[in-house]
Structure 1
Amino acid sequence: MTILGDNLTTSPLGFGGMALTPVYGAVDPTDALATLHHAVDAGITFIDTANVYGGGSNEELVGKLLADRRDEVTLATKFGITGNPAAGQRSSRGDREYVLQCADESLARLGTDVIDLYYLHRLDPNTPIEETVGAMAELVAAGKVIHLGLSEVTADELRRAVAVHPIAAVQSEWSIWSRDVERNVVPAAAELGVGFVPYSPLGRGFLTGTIDSNALGDNDIRRHFPRFADGSLDANQAAVEVIKGVAEAVGATPAQVSLAWLRQKGTELGLGVVPIPGTRKRERIDENIASSAVTLDDAQVATLDSIAATVTGARSADAKWVSAGRE
């Protein structure tokens, strides 16, 4: 098990539920539920979703898992995004009334009476973070939420939030090719005793070496990201080749190496780290779990560390949508 902040204990690896929505193409609900059950069967009991995923349908899907296995799952969900990022619409809301409303709606969709970890998905630029976290703290006092989290906040925003209520985890993109959080956010989290939950730890599948730029569907959300644009994706294949080289040397897959790198970075930087790769394939879940047996030596870590500086394209089309654009 891994300890994040505020004494929140989770499985060493989590599962990102967004993959089980149509953002990467059509998904079969029955197969998606079977994938969730397989994750829990395999020992991944930290399940992450959000009210915006599938317009609430992802929470309903997770709710079907919880109906039989609530006591086995550490449940995380999020609120705060009011637009549809999959369609390029980015807006957020964090006023007290909305916080309380969203929590009740999520609890109903999930079919449970308590959320283990409740995140602010994106900061509302028109509402002080103190007001948002204060309302989230009311949910803790009411017994509807146990732990609080924040997604894509800066170090300063994290400090302001912690002054209101303990924060268990920051969830932001962090991987071999996305390392901007290491400048300020990760050190602040380590100092404050806050854990870190990297989303897209496999670069939305890119770092696995299985992404063909010509195979992305028209409705694939990755087409909205600069790194997956024409030209950039092909240029970034060089990064994958470096990962493949390390993977071959240690007898692992590129995905396993990418997750092992994150695990070792957490140890190096002094904070609990629980990546939440998402997938639709049950065999990928087993592959990801096996990353716990992969150990990288200092030279291999240094080789992987060099990749981020070579990447073409920003990690978000809207710089202020992620923490790096507000630092």
Structure 2
Amino acid sequence: MSFPLVRMRRLRRNETIRRMVAETTLGVSDLIYPMFVCPGKGVRQPVGSMPGVDRFSVDTLVEECKQVADLGVPAVILFGIPEKKDALGRGAYDKNGPVPLALRALRRAVPGLALAADVCMCEYTDHGHCGILDKDTVHNDATLELLAKAAVVYAQAGAHIVAPSDMMDGRVGEIREALDEAELPDTLIMSYAAKYCSAFYGPFREAADSAPQFGDRKTYQMDPANVRQALREVALDVEEGADIVMVKPALPYLDVLAHMRDEFDLPLAAYHVSGEYSMIKAAAQLGWIDHDRVMMESLLSIKRAGADMILTYFAKEAAKLLAGGGK
């Protein structure tokens, strides 16, 4: 069968038919909203390099999360900005730190919202690296105990999901064991299983004040050249007890996400990171692109590549468009 009997444009002739034959759908329930929580009261501080993104104190975070939930966004993930930093990142496992305080407040005020907490040391260490230093090197095994300690603190404070993003070897198993010992076996682990050493994280590091004070993260985050290694990382995290695995960033690594979807049957997440967000915002402000169309096309492409859930700073804006039927 060939032209003129087969005319593919018939399937695209109007919006209703296009919706009927769409192979991929994006819904509000696919979105997770990353948020930054800091000390203080009444704080809502804009992040300069991320238009529309703010740092919140616990009280203002609660009010913002009520709006997030009202839009139908099912989950948020919290990143903490401590009052003080030190070499051991003690703020990461402080029971009265910004993230545990926020988790407890949100469980009371917004009970229907799923709460995830990022588990890492970079926001809490004075050197900005994701673990404990041995001279100028991050000591993998010494870091594991502290990551597990932080995960337990977050779970006890009310996190439904803990999300280790440090890329230390063995941390998922260490966290799973610690959660079980603390009688928290139902806490989900969403592992940043394939987190690449990417240049797309710049705006986040401003938002979380987490840039390394020396060197880089190439010895623990993944080499952008590698995909087979990513599949090994995912397989190891699954073996250690991860419930959800993630690729980060999203758009530059859609091939990795697609390989993960082919190889693994557990839920997959993708992090549409700060640099991806800020580039769209900046180009739209200059009038070079249609903001909403590019935003939705980007999110849809992440879903098409295999993601079950997308961590994105666009969650609120996308939710509003989806509620209005926009795509």
Bin the TM-score by the shorter chain. Answer: 0.5 to 0.7
Which residue does the alignment assign to 2:86? none
Which residue does the alignment assign to 1:100? 148
Query: 1:32 Cα shift?
Result: 3.3
Stretches of structure 2 that go unaligned for 5 or more consecutive residues are 1-27, 39-43, 49-53, 84-90, 92-96, 133-139, 197-229
Which residue does the alignment assign to 2:236? 160
Which residue does the alignment assign to 1:120? 164
1:77 to 112, 117, 125: 117
Answer yes or no: is 1:63 the counterpart of 2:104: yes
Query: 1:17 Cα shift?
Result: 0.9
RMSD (Å), alpha carbons: 3.6
2:321 to 286, 291, 299: 291
Which residue does the alignment assign to 1:265? 301
CA distance, structure 2, for counterparts of residue 289 and residue 190 of structure 1: 28
Which residue does the alignment assign to 1:24? 47
Residues 16 and 276 in structure 1, CA contact (< 8 A), matched pair in contact too: yes
Which residue does the alignment assign to 1:231? none
- Structure number with the higher strand fraction is 2
Which residue does the alignment assign to 2:312? 276
Percentage of pairs with the same residue: 10
Classify the secondary structure of the residue corresponding to 1:290: helix
Aligned pair count reads 229
| Correspondence 1:114-263 to 2 at 5 A | 115-124=159-168, 129=169, 131-139=170-178, 141=180, 142-151=183-192, 152=195, 154-170=230-246, 172-174=248-250, 179-193=251-265, 194-200=267-273, 203-209=276-282, 241=288, 243-244=289-290, 254=291, 256-263=292-299
Stretches of structure 1 that go unaligned for 5 or more consecutive residues are 1-9, 213-236, 245-253, 279-283, 296-327
Structure showing greater radius of gyration is 2
Which residue does the alignment assign to 2:32? 14
Per-residue CA distance 1:3-62 (angstroms, 9 max, x = gap): xxxxxxx93222111277758268563433311111112211201013567754244234
Q: Are residues 265 and 210 of structure 1, via their aligned partners in 2, closer, same or farther at CA, if it must alter by over 3 Å?
A: closer
Q: Are residues 211 and 259 of structure 1, via their aligned partners in 2, closer, same or farther at CA, if it must alter by over 3 Å?
A: closer
Kindly indicate whether structure 1 or structure 2 has the higher relative contact order, using CA contacts under 8 Å at least 6 residues apart.
1
Per-residue CA distance 1:206-248 (angstroms, 9 max, x = gap): 4134887xxxxxxxxxxxxxxxxxxxxxxxx6xx71x32xxxx
CA distance, structure 1, for counterparts of residue 46 and residue 238 of structure 2: 33
TM-score for both structures, normalised by structure 1: 0.57
Query: 1:102 Cα shift?
Result: 0.9
